[in-house]
Amino acid sequence: MKPVFESPLGSRYASRYMLHLFSPDMRFETWRRLWVSLAKAQHELGLPVTQAQVDELAANVSPINYDVVAAKEKEIRHDVMAHIYGFGEMAPGAKGVIHLGATSCYVTDNADLILYRDALRYLRGQLLAVMRNLCDFADRYAGMPCLGYTHFQPAQLTTVGKRATLWLQDLLLDLEELDDVTGAIRFLGCRGTTGTEASFVSLFEGDTQKIDEMNRRIAADFGFDRLYDVCGQTYPRKLDSRILNALSSLAQSCCKFATDMRLLQHDRQVEEPFEDAQVGSSAMAYKRNPMRCERICSLSRYVMADAANAPMTASTQWLERTLDDSANRRISLPEAFLAADGILRLMQNVTAGLHVNDKIVARLVNDYLPFIATENLLMAAVKRGGDRQQIHEIIRRASMEATEKMKNGESWDLIAVLAAEPAFGLTEAEIRAVMKPEHYIGRCPEQVAAFTKKCRALAQGAENREEDITL
């Protein structure tokens, strides 16, 4: 049999944990555990469900009899009913009480809420591992001066470590957003076909306190302490928008980091990891491409584009529900999680192996330091009695001349030219004495230390879940 299409998210990018989390086994076993929980609560609250039936259901959560389910679904064209039938085949003594009073969204929506919550928690650990790597990097290079850029043009100095805190701050904001959306997830519970709980009013003979208690017990079984106050047949699809927006925000930050890295690697300042036997190009053997950062950018674009699905779905849910969300959500939500997982695995790999070419960084600093120092030199010259406007013009003319020579590949010495101007009032030795990069990095080391301390407090204990596969 010839191979068929397999999503690269499964074969190349996502972790085994995330692939298992969104696997058929996990999804349908969660459905069965929800049915067990429903039956257990109903038994405890006095409905005609026996402990033996609850035990029989619990004993047959796995394995799933997929062949039986598939054959039944082909016949009746309804996946949940096919799984009820399959579960009943394995627990015949309890088949008559499976799904009592429930509608399909009891298992489909609650299972999704469980899976999304667990996926967000897992990504949080992955993100914290990336942040921990960047904290180490930022602290190591907190005081190393480097050329800063605005508009990707040479600007004032910063430090290698301070630049890393900019990446860290974006990720910290993403962490806060992940925490917010995870904390916002509530359980749907078992609320009936249009959210009115009418079926349970009948089953419990009007005892609404038992309905509320049933839902609290089911929610607690799956680690939830809150339920949506009201609902139609489904949980609010606004939640999907919040989830995909959070994953999109994370992708934006990772793409920004990876783009910066690609620019820095072009200048040979900072490079992503590159193994001894790694091949950069099939034709150009000398190539050392930033392929991991390029992959981060590529997957990030996918997640950012995918995030548009949820608001379009949420905005078109008719009244108590419509089914045009189903096919879209089966693809857009899991794939967003798998792609975000792949991005963070790559981020862990890259941030753990960043390589700084110290001499290249220092050379760029030295090339531009005379220009950077001119404002301080202007003030020093004025203090010696010089005319501020005249000194400014001397610096402007000399700088333009030096820049022109640089562009033509000619040698130049801005300091010597300035010192040769009698009106400048400073000797060459005096000017060169202030040409120390560390004098031009402001509070960078202090800022790095304060910020990484804050980030480390959040990242403490986060496990690096990087798997031993080719990235």
| Cα 142 from Cα 140, distance rounded (Å) | 6
5 versus 129: the higher-pLDDT residue is 129
- Average pLDDT of the residues in 429-444: 89
State the pLDDT at residue 467. 47
pLDDT of 378 higher than 80: yes
- The stretch 27-46 carries a mean pLDDT of 97
Q: How confident is the model at residue 464 (pLDDT cuts 50, 70, 90)?
A: very low
Contact 328, 241 (CB under 8 A): no
Give pLDDT, residue 455.
Answer: 92
For residue 2, pLDDT over 70 is answered with yes
Mean pLDDT of 316-343: 93
How does pLDDT run across 173-204, given as a tens digit for each residue? 999 999 999 999 999 999 999 999 999 999 99
Fill in the DSSP letter of residue 95: G
Nearest Cα neighbor of 304 from 339, 275, 279 is 339
Contacts from 81-86 at CB under 8 Å and sequence distance 24+? Answer: 83/28, 83/31, 83/32, 83/107, 84/35
Q: What is the CA 303 to chain-centroid distance, rounded?
A: 10
Neighbouring residues of 91: CB distance < 8 A, sequence distance ≥ 6: 53, 56, 57, 59, 60, 98
Place of tokens 């085949």: 89
CATH class of 374-434: mainly alpha
In this prediction, residue 451 has a pLDDT band, given cuts at 50, 70 and 90, of very high
| 416: Cβ contacts below 8 Å, ≥ 6 apart | 428
Domain residue extents for the chain? 8-97, 104-142+157-209+223-273+286-357, 374-434
Report the alpha-carbon distance of residue 13 to residue 465 in Å, rounded: 14
Please say whether the beta carbons of 131 and 455 come within 8 A: yes
Q: Is 266 a known active-site residue?
A: no
- 104-142+157-209+223-273+286-357 and 374-434: same fold? no
3-state secondary structure of 436: coil
Q: State the catalytic residue, choosing from 7, 202, 281, 315.
A: 281
- The pLDDT-based confidence of 384 (bands split at 50, 70, 90) is confident
Q: What percent of the chain has pLDDT over 90?
A: 73
Q: What is the mean pLDDT of the chain?
A: 91
CB 162 within 8 A of CB 234: no
CB of 179 within 8 A of CB of 214?
A: no
- Between 285 and 433, name the one with better pLDDT: 433
Concerning whether 253 is annotated as a catalytic residue, the answer is no
Spatial separation of the C-alpha atoms in residues 430 and 222, rounded to whole Å: 72
pLDDT at 246: 98
Q: Is the domain 8-97 a CATH 1.10.275.10 member?
A: yes
CA–CA gap between residue 342 and residue 315 (Å, rounded): 29
Per-residue CA distances from 363 to 101, 149, 430 (Å): 74, 15, 22
Query: Which of the following is catalytic: 11, 151, 282, 411?
Result: 151
Name the residue among 124, 138, 183, 126 with its Cα closest to residue 454. 138
The reply to whether CATH 1.10.240.10 applies to domain 104-142+157-209+223-273+286-357 is: no
CA distance 141 to 434: 22
Say how far apart CA 234 and CA 317 lie, in whole Å.
Answer: 10
**pLDDT of 282 higher than 90:** no
279: buried, middle or exposed (CB in 10 Å: 19+, 13-18, 0-12)? exposed
Most confident of 98-107, 278-287, 397-406: 98-107
- The tokens describing 32, both together, are 């069965």
- pLDDT score, position 418: 87
